[in-house]
Amino acid sequence: MKFSYLLCAAALFPLAACGDGIGSGDAEKSAETAPKQPEWTGDGMTSRDGEAAKDDVARPEMQLQVVLDRLGFSPGVVDGKLGLSTTNALKGFQEAKGLTVTGDWDEATKAALAEWNAIPATRMVTVPESYTSGTYAPLPEKPAEQAKLAAMGYEGLLEKLAERFHTTPEVLKALNPELDTAADPSASPVAATPTIKTGATLRVPNVGADTVVAADIDNKAWLETLASLGVGTTQLKAGKIEVSKKAGTMKVFDAAGKLIALFTVTTGSAHDPLPIGSWKVRGVGRNPDYAFDPALLRGVPASEGKHRLPPGPNSPVGVVWIDLDKEHYGLHGTPEPQNIGRSESNGCVRLTNWDAARLAQMVAPGTKVDFVA
């Protein structure tokens, strides 16, 4: 995914600073006014270990990432590389298990992960008609043109499939070499998207914890969003959140103080540092719209004008805005998951869309959020 300007976030309730603005009203209003979605009937791509989940070759690093992702210790993009986000995920798992926290995939950690060794790194899925029949097109660069759209949707089918399996189009192409031969490399990224037909079979990262129970969610647009991101409706409940500026991580603890999740995040910059202090969740905006205001954005000329941008995964705040009682600050998603932990924000806290969606299922108004140095 791409966006023509890097933004942090804006407040959900009043207009925000921190780089962005979300529509006014209560936390659910923006989701209710999102484009109408058809009744959700499932996408048929939920993890089913023991059936279609068999690796063609050994992928130990990706298998590790898949297991950590399932357990709530997010490696960010599942790509088979032991980078920053996977190191953070290992640290979270080690802390939760009472191991020495090193971030290394050492023997003690391997022993603690052994009970999940039978989970394959990848699985085969059949692409459903609900994916291939979608409307995909490049997003215009100017906010004035973006404001005319019905949604800030995916630019291509491969992009949507990548988010569903917590990865990137490049990883999907690597897992399915035939996709790379189906596109003109001289074309634009969207035009070069391989043609994937209904019923096509693809190898994908074997992400789990993705069971969506329709009866658990009243908002049908949000139900479809969870399914499209491979995020299950049932998640552990957060008692407290701790965001570390130094570590670039978000820890989620339950009511008893046990670490139950960890996400790599982007937190502020030298110009807009993370506001250290203790805050609380005011509300959760699911599929929020976005108030574009040049006055709140560094490097954006006033001539761009103010605009209301529609909801969607390629919105500047992704699919979630978790509003805090620190005015103009919140926790939110992003249209650029590959940049989490590797770029700056305007003071707010960014996560991948799938991690933000998972977090949205864990928090509630009143959840404590500590920003620490």
pLDDT at 192 over 80: no
Rg (CA), the chain: 20
Mean pLDDT of the chain: 86
Output the furthest CA–CA distance in the chain (Å, rounded). Answer: 58
Q: What is the pLDDT of residues 53-70, one digit of tens each?
A: 789 999 999 999 999 999
More confident residue, 69 or 304: 69
Whether pLDDT at 344 is above 70: no
Encoding tokens for residue 71?
Answer: 């357990």
- Full set of structural domains in the chain with CATH: 9-35+232-372 (2.40.440.10)
The mean-pLDDT minimum among 200-214, 226-240, 270-284, 334-348 falls in 334-348
Asked whether the beta carbons of 75 and 167 are under 8 A apart, the reply is no
CB–CB of 309/290 below 8 Å? yes
> With 90 as the cut, is the pLDDT of residue 296 above it?
no
Checking if the pLDDT of 361 tops 50, the result is: yes
Residue 234 identity? T
Per-residue pLDDT tens digits for 99-144: 999 999 999 999 999 999 999 999 999 999 999 999 999 999 999 9
What confidence score (pLDDT) does residue 297 get?
75
Which has the closest alpha carbon to 158: 206, 111, 191? 191
Answer whether residue 15 shows pLDDT above 70.
no
pLDDT for 14 equals 35
Residue 137 burial by Cβ neighbours in a 10 Å radius (0-12, 13-18, 19+): exposed
Dist. CA 309–CA 358, nearest whole Å: 23
75: pLDDT strictly greater than 90: yes
